[in-house]
Structure 1
Amino acid sequence: MAISELKLPQGVSAHAFKNPVLLADGLALKVAEQLRAAIEARGTAVLVVSGGRSPVAFFQNLAKQALDWSKVVVTLADERWVPVEHADSNAGLLKRYLLQGPAARAKFLSLYSATANLEEAAQNADRLLAELPPIDVLILGMGDDGHTASLFPDSPNLADALKLDGSRRCWPMLAPTVPHQRLSMSRALLASATHKVLSISGQSKLTTLNAALAGDDVAAMPIRAFLQPTLEIYWCP
């Protein structure tokens, strides 16, 4: 299957790249352009990214872009419930690969709190996110089960987290794999981003996306909540 064969909703666009290197470069250039425009328009820019191993090359490319990083706020769509020093920490991943060199001047808003339990940390993150300016750029990933951020099928708080008109910005979530406990931005907050990108690679992700496009049960495949006009999909084999 090729990405051109997908039946995308009107207003959703797809960009195919020959390999992960070209995708990371193309996405970094586009995001940097969008962040510059936001800074020029209102003096600050907000970037929300996802963790995992896939975005590493994108982070490294973005860190090299010419930006006034002191005017950029970076935060995460979701976080694993582990200390920053842990290999699975998304915050740790950002510190190693994005917040380096000039990009270290960006303000980082962490969802994790070392002195609170999961529910307390979610409430604390919710308060911090309430003070966040509007999200300019959102980069989402997707799992083979159709989850995005840490909005996992069958997670106890999923129904509330998926409410489009929900007022809460951050929820404690459970993943089916270790580490189980997560923090995730809500659908309502994620969907408010001006620019939304789904970045995926590999045929298996294309198969998952095709399945998501074929149905409308958002709880079964939460990525469906974001397959809406203005979404841009970046894909490579």
Structure 2
Amino acid sequence: MAISDLALPAGVVSHELQDAQHLAVALAERVARALEAALAEKASVSLVVSGGRSPIAFFEALSQHSLDWARVQVSLADERWVDTSHPDSNEGLVRRHLLCNAAAQAQFIGLYKPAETLAQAAKLASEALASLASPIDVLVLGMGNDGHTASLFPGSPLLSQALSAAEATRCLPMRAPVEPHERLSMTYSLLSAASVQCLAIQGAAKLDTLQQAMRLEPSQMPIRAFMHPPLEIYWCP
């Protein structure tokens, strides 16, 4: 199966790349162009990315683009509630692979906050995100085989709230079915307002997930909530 075989909703754009490296380069080019265009119109722009291992090549490619990075705010769609020095920390990943080279001057707004409870940490993260240039200028999402995106997981106790929360609620505590279970996630209202929205996926299994998601509700596969314009999907086998 190829992504062209999917009956995507009208207006959703798809790009099929040769392999993961070509996808990373193409996505970095798209994001850099979008940030450059936004910088021509605003004093400060925002880029929200997803963590995990998959985006590393994209981060490294984007970090080498020549932009006025000092005017770019970088944040995360979601975070694991672990210290930033922990191997599972998305912030640590971004700092190592994106906030370097030309992008070293970017401003980072992290979601991880030390607190007594995850709920308190989410409240602190939501407050920190008040300084993020809004609406988000560029959003880059990933997707799991269960149809989750960011840390909007099927079956998570607060998923319904995360999908329907008012815009003022920027971050909520979420629970993942895999370790580490405790997560922080931007809400759908904040993510879905992004001017440029990209989804990066790889492999036939992810296409199967997308196909299934289009027949289900966002509560069953949260990626379904994003399957409308201006979404652009970048896929490789």
For this structure pair, what is the TM-score category when the shorter chain's length is used for normalisation? over 0.9
Give the direction of change, closer, same or farther, for the CA distance of 1:173–1:16 in structure 2 (3 Å limit): same
- Which residue number in structure 2 is paired with residue 194 of structure 1? 195
- 1:114 shift after superposition: 2.4
Does residue 171 of the first structure (1) align with residue 168 of the second (2)? no
Name the CA distance, whole Å, in 1 between partners of 2:112 and 2:165.
24
- Which residue number in structure 1 is paired with residue 67 of structure 2? 67
Does residue 138 of the first structure (1) align with residue 148 of the second (2)? no
SS in 1 for 2:83: coil
Name the CA distance, whole Å, in 1 between partners of 2:88 and 2:166.
31
SS in 1 for 2:164: coil
Gaps of 5+ in 1: none
SS in 2 for 1:150: coil
- Which residue number in structure 2 is paired with residue 83 of structure 1? 83
AA aligned to 1:163 is S
- Which residue number in structure 2 is paired with residue 93 of structure 1? 93
Deviation >4 Å, runs of 4+: none
AA aligned to 2:181 is H
Identity %: 53
> Given the two structures, how large is their TM-score scaled by the length of structure 1?
0.97
Gaps of 5+ in 2: none
- Which residue number in structure 2 is paired with residue 120 of structure 1? 120
AA aligned to 1:4 is S
**RMSD value, Cα:** 1.1
- Which residue number in structure 2 is paired with residue 153 of structure 1? 154
Does residue 235 of the first structure (1) align with residue 235 of the second (2)? yes
SS in 2 for 1:120: helix
Give the direction of change, closer, same or farther, for the CA distance of 1:172–1:164 in structure 2 (3 Å limit): closer
Name the CA distance, whole Å, in 1 between partners of 2:122 and 2:165.
18
Name the CA distance, whole Å, in 2 between partners of 1:115 and 1:95.
22
Name the CA distance, whole Å, in 2 between partners of 1:37 and 1:229.
19
Query: CA offsets per residue over residues 109-128 of structure 1, 9 Å max, x none?
Result: 01001244311111011112
- Which residue number in structure 2 is paired with residue 53 of structure 1? 53
